[in-house]
Structure 1
Amino acid sequence: MLINSTLYLPILTIYPLMVGIFVLIILLGYWSQTHYPTFNKRNVLKLLFAFYITCVAQLTNSINIYTPWTYLRMVRAAHGFGYFDDIEWHPLAMYKSIYTAASQYTIIGNIIMLVPLTFFVCILWKNAASLKKMFILAFFTSLTIETSQLILSYFYLEHRLFDLNDLLQNTLGGLLGYALFILVQRTLPKFVHHAQQIV
């Protein structure tokens, strides 16, 4: 991390993808020893959903671990915590450069990111399949991600931005995921019915 022209290197970076895969392997091992594995549609969807959540965590957060001495030097160099002003309060600012490839990539990526979230939840849990519930889920999931990035950046554990654009675009993506579920429900009702059955 760069503070006042000085680069501070972590001794370890914790990546959610590695942690998530490790936990999944342990859970699968425990499951195979205590239950008869049944790889039906619902259980396959659950595994895909768990892997998706892990990938989202990987894309949005990582945690840098420093030695106590290095961390203390960082805090002293920054004169305390909160060195980075990492809040974007202007949700329409990035659209001024919407014609650039970088802006388009960011916007599309933010929208797509939470599409699978609401789709999987609606497929797996019938009672959750409503527009209001999916709006709340998408909004608060994105808010949690942005807030965690802000907190980690405040304490120099990573350097990310709390961006209102991300919040709006993620929420839109969640609503599109619900729309995708409605489309699949109408075109493949048997698939949705079997996936939502409790096993």
Structure 2
Amino acid sequence: MDFQYKIPAAAVLGPALLAFALVALVRHRRDAPGWRGGPLLLRSVTALYATAVASLTFFPLWIYGGAYRNEAEWIGQIQPVPLLLADITMVPNVIMFLPLGFLLPLLFPRITRGRTVLACALISLGIEVTQLLQYIAFAHGRAVDINDLIANTLGGLLGYATLRAAQRAATTRAALERVSSPAQTVG
């Protein structure tokens, strides 16, 4: 049977955002720590950011079957040699992870630079693996590229550096402290 089916981002991410909004509402009404005022705003911005990243990296999700199915070997979708084809196209990947490097220390005030960069690298790796699994399962998807992992991780580091620079100025430090989550330990 030949078929092609498109799953738009809104079909998956819309309900996910709605679920977040319901959790936020319940926690806000129960006066849970970190779910009022600035911290709630920070969590909401982070949820919107995560939704945007998921939309850009996973959707639309095309499912093909029969004659429409891509018969190219999945192993050909992996580009493991770093920086061989590095060019200006890496810039969007750097930019995409700047907010993550900025937001993580606000969500987890005790997180270190190293753990922020590690988290960015692991999240980027998760995206690349998910894209590969999409290709294997649905015979359609994006190439898995080590350059994306490098660029995303660099973006996270630059986001972290941007936050620390902003925290040095008294006016921005005060504003950032108002939205930052209550101090949490990072295991």
How does the TM-score come out when normalised to structure 1?
Answer: 0.74
- Contiguous gaps of at least 5 residues in structure 2: none
What secondary structure is seen at the aligned counterpart in 2 of 1:126? coil
1:91 aligned residue: 82
**Among 125, 135, 143, the residue aligned to 2:108:** 125
- 1:33 Cα offset (Å): 5.7
1:3 aligned residue: none
Q: Relative to 1, partners in 2 of residues 1:39 and 1:77: Cα closer, same or farther, differing over 3 Å? A: closer
After TM superposition, the structure 1 = structure 2 runs for residues 77-156 of structure 1, keeping only pairs within 5 Å, are: 78=71, 82-83=73-74, 85-95=76-86, 98=87, 104=88, 106-128=89-111, 130-156=112-138
2:7 aligned residue: 13
**Among 176, 180, 183, the residue aligned to 1:192:** 176
1:167 aligns with 2:183: no
Q: Relative to 1, partners in 2 of residues 1:162 and 1:189: Cα closer, same or farther, differing over 3 Å? A: same
1:52 aligns with 2:49: yes
The one-letter amino acid of 1:186's match is R
- Contiguous gaps of at least 5 residues in structure 1: 1-6, 99-103
Q: Relative to 1, partners in 2 of residues 1:19 and 1:161: Cα closer, same or farther, differing over 3 Å? A: farther
Percent identity of paired positions between Structure 1 and Structure 2: 25
* Larger-gyration structure (1/2): 1
- For the aligned residue pairs, the C-alpha RMSD in angstroms reads 3.1
How does the TM-score come out when normalised to structure 2?
Answer: 0.78
The one-letter amino acid of 2:7's match is T
Greater RCO between the two (CA within 8 Å, min separation 6)? 2
After TM superposition, the structure 1 = structure 2 runs for residues 18-29 of structure 1, keeping only pairs within 5 Å, are: 18-29=14-25
The one-letter amino acid of 2:123's match is T
- 1:29 Cα offset (Å): 4.8
